[in-house]
Chains A and B, each alone.
Chain A
């Protein structure tokens, strides 16, 4: 039992120590191997510390191994490069901000075209031009701020002090008055429109009432009946017309009494002769009444 306790406690402590050492190394370096050293030198105030990444053309190839403060305004920096990477000769080193939290990295920039030769372990890289950091960005922001201040000052002079602002105020006041008048007119028009709409609605309501009444219904029924009668009348007229056409055809053909009356001239001749004889008879009667009229009373 005692031996088992010792073994289990030993395993626990060993595992914890291994996790501690490997974890810390990995967090500090990003890997467990140390890599080969290269040296460079930067001016003070770079916010550099051990463990920060080293980037070659943007790729993480190592970490900052050591930073030594010199009294002449420079920092001696030892960087460790992974064994699998080589740094081309002529590459320069610069401190570059990473992210928005103020962390930095050492950026190595190879020359173009990239030479075949590489730095050997222990060589010193020349420092390159420093990348823009937050301080420089803030300087730009300060410049922009100063320009804005000048602009505001000019606006103050031109608009406030030269009286432009008063003119603008007057114009705004006039526009407000005009707007008020327009509002009034609009209100009046709106009232008229409302009345018109009311009348229209009332008329529509009446029409609606009429449409609903039985009168309209009966009128429409009568109209329908009249229309049917008219249709019948037209049909009768049509048939009558047909009959008349038939009669006229018969009459024109000369058959029958009416046809003969229309086409035969004998009746006319006879009638004419009869009329002439009647004329001569009347004349004779007028000349010799006693020949034809003999009146005896008792």
Chain B
């Protein structure tokens, strides 16, 4: 799917010296744009292959369950630990930054807004990028460089249906599941820290926790989690699928997958806040 970019026209060295710098610059810009469009096109084909493979449930359903266990059940401890610490720290920081006279119920409100709307999905996504995404890229990349994927094709197996679709489905379902638990753990941790360590009363915290709550806040959190799950599985699977050049290529693909996925999650987070944020005010 990937390979060296095609060369256009004459070599730069064949032009007069005075024209070479500008020609080199324009060629570089053109190549960058061509490369970008080609990447978009290749990834679109990849998504098309996934959509096409969804019509073959017999191939991907058994593997999907296994992937759901790996991604979901296997990630519970790290997700809960991160959420517990984040909830506690939010509660502590909010309490210590309050100036005198402000109602202490704001700690419950701030904890809920930060955990449910932002940090719950975001941190779960970033943590799973490292734990799940890196593993996905390494697994698929190793299969690519050891020609196991080619063997699957030889055996008339659709490698996308067998390797990619289960991971995408599992991540898309499991991320929201983990985010629900992360949100609950974060809020529980914030409550415990507020009531045990600071002067906030349980009634204060619960009043703030329920203040201005709307069901859409939970929907927003789960929607983000679904998008993050999809981003992790798509980016990491693709980077593994196009791995080249042996073990070194697997390492490079894994690193690139983690970086691209992290950036994608942050961009998606910002886009979601921009597009769906106004709806949270209702």
Contact = CB atoms under 8 A, between A and B. Distances in A.
Interface in B56-85: 62, 65-66, 68-69, 72-73, 76
A32 B239 CA distance: 46
A92 B176 CA distance: 44
A27 B222 CA distance: 16
A99 B211 contact: yes
Interface stretch (A15-23, A35-43, A159-167): A15-23
B65 A5 contact: yes
A51 interface: yes
B210 interface: yes
Interface stretch (A6-14, A70-78, A142-150): A6-14
B181 A19 contact: yes
A119 to B, nearest CB: 25
A243 B178 CA distance: 129
Given A8-B73, A19-B180, A2 B65 contact: yes
Measured as residues with beta carbon below 8 angstroms from the partner, the interface class of chain B is 20 to 34
15 contacts: A5-B69, A8-B69, A9-B69, A9-B72, A19-B180, A19-B184, A23-B218, A24-B218, A28-B214, A30-B210, A51-B213, A99-B105, A101-B109, A101-B211, A103-B212
Contacts of B14: none
Nearest to B282: A49
A295 interface: no
Q: Tell me the dominant secondary structure on chain A's binding face.
A: helix
A112 interface: no
A100 interface: yes
Given A12-B177, A16-B181, A6 B210 contact: no
B209 interface: yes
Interface in A44-79: 49-51, 53
Q: Which 10 A-B pairs have the closest CB atoms?
A: A16-B177, A5-B69, A16-B180, A9-B68, A27-B213, A8-B73, A20-B180, A19-B184, A5-B65, A24-B218
B169 to A, nearest CB: 12
A5 B174 CA distance: 14
Given A19-B184, A30-B210, A24 B65 contact: no
Contacts of B181: 15-16, 19
B147 interface: no
B166 to A, nearest CB: 12
Contact of A27 (B73, B176, B180, B209): B209
A12 B72 contact: yes
A185 B173 CA distance: 91
Q: Tell me the dominant secondary structure on chain B's binding face.
A: helix
Interface in B207-232: 209-215, 218, 222
Interface residues of A, number: 26
Contacts of B103: 99-100
Contacts of A24: 215, 218
Interface string B102-118: 11011001001000000
Nearest to A1: B66
A12 B210 contact: no
Contacts of A30: 210
Contacts of A15: 181
A16 B282 CA distance: 26
B57 to A, nearest CB: 15
B62 A51 contact: no
A179 B134 CA distance: 82
A51 B109 contact: no
Nearest to B73: A8
B254 to A, nearest CB: 25
Contacts of A5: 65-66, 68-69
Nearest to A51: B213
In this complex, the member of A28, A53, A103 whose beta carbon has the largest number of chain B beta carbons within 10 angstroms is: A103
A49 B62 contact: no
Contacts of B213: 27-28, 51
Given A16-B177, A23-B184, A6 B212 contact: no
A19 to B, nearest CB: 5
A27 B210 contact: yes
Contacts of A17: 180
A165 to B, nearest CB: 39
B215 A28 contact: yes
Contacts of A28: 210, 213-215
Interface string A74-100: 000000000000000000000000111
Contact of A2 (B66, B174, B212): B66
Contacts of B173: 13
Nearest to A3: B65
Contacts of A50: 214
B145 to A, nearest CB: 27
A8 B218 CA distance: 24
B212 A101 contact: yes
A11 B180 CA distance: 14
B84 to A, nearest CB: 15
Given A28-B213, A100-B103, A13 B177 contact: yes
B73 A9 contact: yes
